[in-house]
Amino acid sequence: MSKKAPAALLSVILVLTMVLCLCTGCDFSTTIISDSDHPEIVFQDFFNALKQKDFDKADSFLADNSTIRPSDNSGYSFMEALVDVSLDSMSYQVIRQPEYDHTAAVMRVSITSLDKEMLINFITDHMEQILNDYMLQQGINTVDPEDHEQLSQVLTAAILQYSADAQTINNEIDVNFIYSDNQWKIVGNNNLVVAVFGGNVNEK
């Protein structure tokens, strides 16, 4: 075999390797990224942190110092209860695997959560019965409409009681990612917040 043969063979192998990479969507710039850094894993970790109500950890997966934590509900136990039941009911499914464009990626997901609006409407429509049940359980004859703490307790009890049978809502959204500082980060936006906390993305 001539000395040129090995060089020609190597050239063919390199060309075939490049063709194979092009056909399979391989990107040399991303092949060194570990599995734990893939957008799917990042979103899974973000989602698990939300389920655990660890908002500091959830925020750590977001780009540009974004936050997804609910507003300060201190002093309003029913608002905290509403957030809790929304997150407890939440699940997601990947609809379309990530599509990459250099340092950006987008993944389509379906997020299922408690339909917060329908639960609130149900409680509003049945408020008289809810108040009567609460007074009966507490052994009292009236509820002071100016006592915000007591009203919050009434609403908290109602949320916890009726959330188990409440309807859920599905929102399909695109989750965007950027690759920076050797890691994928989620680009926070209103659609993500609305879907997570049981709103309707189409009506926001």
Give residue 82's pLDDT band: very low, low, confident or very high (50, 70, 90).
confident
Identify which has the larger pLDDT, 3 or 154. Answer: 154
What local confidence, expressed as pLDDT, does residue 4 receive?
Answer: 42
Strand-pair partners of 122: none
DSSP state of 84: H
What local confidence, expressed as pLDDT, does residue 72 receive?
Answer: 57
Alpha-carbon separation of residue 195 from 30, 49, 63, 74, 188 (angstroms): 30, 16, 18, 23, 12
Give residue 14's pLDDT band: very low, low, confident or very high (50, 70, 90).
very low
* CATH value of 33-203 in 3.10.450.100, 2.60.40.1080, 3.30.1490.20, 1.10.579.10: 3.10.450.100
Please report, in angstroms and rounded to a whole number, the separation of the first and last CA atoms in the chain: 72
Which whole number is the average pLDDT over 100-124?
90
Q: Residue 12: is its pLDDT beyond 80?
A: no
Give residue 74's pLDDT band: very low, low, confident or very high (50, 70, 90).
low
50-59, 84-93, 136-145: the lowest-pLDDT one: 136-145
CA–CA separation, 168 vs 199, rounded Å?
10
Highest mean pLDDT: which range of 16-25, 39-48, 62-71, 126-135: 39-48
Q: Residue 5: is its pLDDT beyond 60?
A: no
Q: Residue 98: is its pLDDT beyond 90?
A: yes
Extents of the domains making up the chain: 1-32, 33-203
32-68 residue pLDDT tens: 344 447 899 999 999 999 999 999 999 999 998 888 8
Q: Contact, 56 vs 62, CB < 8 A?
A: no
Which whole number is the average pLDDT over 14-26?
36
Per-residue b or e along 54-80, where b marks 16 or more CB atoms closer than 10 Å to that residue's CB: ebeebbebbbeeeebebeeeeebbbbb
What local confidence, expressed as pLDDT, does residue 76 receive?
Answer: 63
Q: Which of 35, 170, 175, 32 is nearest to 99 (CA)?
A: 175
Alpha-carbon separation of residue 151 from 35, 121, 123, 143, 161 (angstroms): 49, 17, 13, 8, 15
CA–CA separation, 185 vs 178, rounded Å?
5
Q: Residue 97: is its pLDDT beyond 70?
A: yes
Q: Which of 84, 79, 74, 76 is nearest to 52 (CA)?
A: 84
What local confidence, expressed as pLDDT, does residue 165 receive?
Answer: 82
> How is residue 37 written in tokens?
């850094």
